[in-house]
Amino acid sequence: MTTVLIKSGGDIATGIAHRLFVSGYQVVITELPEPTVIRRTVSFAAAVYQQQCQVEGVTAKCVSFSQAAECLSTGVIPVLVDPECRSLAQFQPAAVVDAILAKQNTGTQLADASLVIGIGPGFIAGRDVHCVIETMRGHDLGRVITDGSALANTGVPGEIGGYSLERLLRAPCDGVFTPIREIGNVVAAGEVVAQVSGQPVVAEISGVLRGLLFDRLVVRQGMKIGDIDPRCRREHCFTISDKARAVGGGVLEALLGHKVLPGN
C-alpha cells in the first residue's frame, strides 16, 4: 500500500490522516515526546499519552519503530515519538506531509519523498516542498498552492460564533497546568476552568470547552492551553472540524493530482 508520513498528530494533522486513511492510504504519524495538543479528543497525538486513541472510528497507537509494521498490517495508524523524523529512512513513504503548523519550516525538504506537502505558512512551493495547503479560514481554505506560499499567520484565530481571541484560554504564568473542567463541559464567562501552578485560568466567554491540554504539562505564560466554542454543540468536541476536513481534502487532491494513488 501507498504510505504517507505525516509530521504531527494534532487536530489538523488528524483531519488529514483520517481522510487519507479512509481513502485507502497507509498513514504513519510522527510526534514529539510531549505534544502540546489542545483539541486532544480529535487528535491522534493523544496516543502518546494514552497509548491508544480513536477518532471517528479510526484507531491510532503509540508504538516503537519495531512495532509499526504490525500496526499497519492490522489497520491501525502508528504514532511514533520521532521528533528527528528518523522513520523517513525506515518507511520511505511515497509522500510526506508537514502538518506541524510551526509557521516556519523546521527541516522538511523536497528530497524527503516524491511528493512533499507543507501545511500552512512557512513553506514555499517549489523550493522546500512541492505544494502548500492553505490553512487560513476563508475563500481559499484547503486550496492547493503549487507556486508560492500560504497566507501569513495573523496571530488572530478564526472567528467562531462571533468570537475570536476571546474564545482562547491562555496560561496566566509559567508553571504546571492542571485542568478543573473537562472537554465537553459547558462553562460560563468568569468561571475558573483550569489552573497553572495555582493561578486561575478564567473563561472570557460562555460556551462548551472544546479543547484543553493534558494534565501536568509545563506551560509558558501566554501559551494557548484551551479553547471555548460559543456555539455550545457538545458533539463538535469529539468530531473532526470543518477546517481540518477542508485541509485534509486539499492534501488528498494534491496526492491524486501528483498520481500518488492509494494501493500503489
Asked if residue 161 has pLDDT above 80, the reply is no
**Whether 98 and 137 share a structural domain:** yes
CB 161 within 8 A of CB 236: no
**Whether 145 and 215 share a structural domain:** no
**Whether 96 and 216 share a structural domain:** no
What's the DSSP call for residue 83?
Answer: T
List pLDDT tens digits, range 199-225: 999 999 999 999 999 999 999 999 999
pLDDT the model gives residue 264: 59
∠ CA(221), CA(121), CA(112), 5° rounding? 110
For the entire predicted model, the pTM comes to 0.95
List pLDDT tens digits, range 18-67: 999 999 999 999 999 999 999 999 999 999 999 999 999 999 999 999 99
**CA 112/CA 92 separation, integer angstroms:** 8
Domain interval for residue 113: 3-153+242-257
Count of structural domains within the chain? 2
Residue 149's domain is classified under what CATH number? 3.40.50
CB 238 within 8 A of CB 42: yes
